[in-house]
Amino acid sequence: MGRRGAEESLELYMPRGYTGIITDALKSIVGDITVDAAGLVSLRAGGLRDASKRVLASLKSLKADRVLVVADEERAAGNIEGFRNWLERMANFVAYINEDYTELGSEASLIVLTSDALAAKIYEVVGNKVSWALMWSLPRNASEDLISQIGLQCKVARELGISSEEANEILWRLAGGNPRALGLIWEKGIKKWLEVEVIDGIRRFARDLPKGQRGKALEEISASLDKVDDMGWLDPSVRNIMLKHNIIIYIVGADKISEIAGEPWIGREYAYQLPAYYYALKIMARKRSMDISPEEVIKEAKG
């Protein structure tokens, strides 16, 4: 389940024999409920967090073999305390349900999917109650397979006037296997993507810094660019705002679902969400200005 403005969406997969009880448990909710042939129940409505607990309680009474609750695109959105409280309550509830399931050799599990880097800040608080997994980018071979399937390297090659092989390399050095970034590059073109998503993204981060701190922050970031883990020594207010804007992510304490390559934008504790941020910041630090162009970022990434 995840926020979509004032609405939320919930998807549960259960064997078809359980779809009746799921829809019955949700009858009190105003919203559209659909069940496909495979037994996937989808709906949109308000108050789904409470509704999901009622669904789980109903499934518990039926002794379902396995229950998997997926909270999709949950975001802290700056309210770490609120996110932590909800996650802890939900994890406690699923753990309570699981006590009965384990006696039957079954299991109830909670998976929370989020692209909000701030969520990592609560790892120490709820880490023993939630399984943490890190999957923010595809490994290089999978990324190249995706690029080939959609013909993105050809599109970028035409835009930049380079070969397909060079386009593949540039896409890796700028998007780093991030599927969302690859989709936006397909939609906008690589130069427009760099301008709107990367360069303007860094400018939005800078505007969020305390007044008068922009120059100092750029100097500190510049000093850490050759060793990404030095970001741990950044002024905490700067680091937290970089996390808030998803420019960097915290990668400690999570199981690595996807392969994490040894690249200059990836450290042991921190990594840039997109390598394009790393290269753009390098240019900004060298020029001591945030007035840079997509062409400069591409040139920097080429080396």
Per residue in 11-24, pLDDT (tens digit) is: 555 555 555 655 66
What percent of the chain clears pLDDT 90, i.e. is strictly above it?
25
Which has the higher per-residue pLDDT, 106 or 227?
A: 227
- With 70 as the cut, is the pLDDT of residue 69 above it? no
The answer for residues whose C-beta is within 8 angstroms of residue 123's C-beta and 6 or more apart is 132, 250, 252, 253, 254
pLDDT bracket for residue 106 (50, 70, 90):
low
Q: Are strands 40-45 and 7-13 parallel, antiparallel or unpaired?
A: antiparallel
Which range has the top average pLDDT, 43-47, 74-78, 197-201, 282-286? Answer: 197-201
- 169-176 average pLDDT score: 95
- 139-151 average pLDDT score: 90
Q: Which amino acid is at 292?
A: I
- With 90 as the cut, is the pLDDT of residue 292 above it? yes
Cα angle 241-245-248, degrees, rounded to a multiple of 5: 80
- 107-135 average pLDDT score: 66
Element (H, E) at 300: helix 294-302
Cα angle 114-4-107, degrees, rounded to a multiple of 5: 50
- 223-229 average pLDDT score: 77
**pLDDT, position 125:** 66
**pLDDT, position 6:** 39
- With 80 as the cut, is the pLDDT of residue 283 above it? yes
Three-state DSSP string of 77-123: CCCHHHHHHHHHHHHHHHHHHHHHHHHCCCEEEEEEECCCHHHHHHH
**pLDDT, position 280:** 95
Contact by Cβ (8 Å): 177, 142:
yes
Contact by Cβ (8 Å): 108, 94:
yes
**pLDDT, position 209:** 85
Instruction: Record the pTM.
Output: 0.67
Residues 268 and 278: their CA atoms lie apart, in Å, by: 16
Residues 58 and 19: their CA atoms lie apart, in Å, by: 11
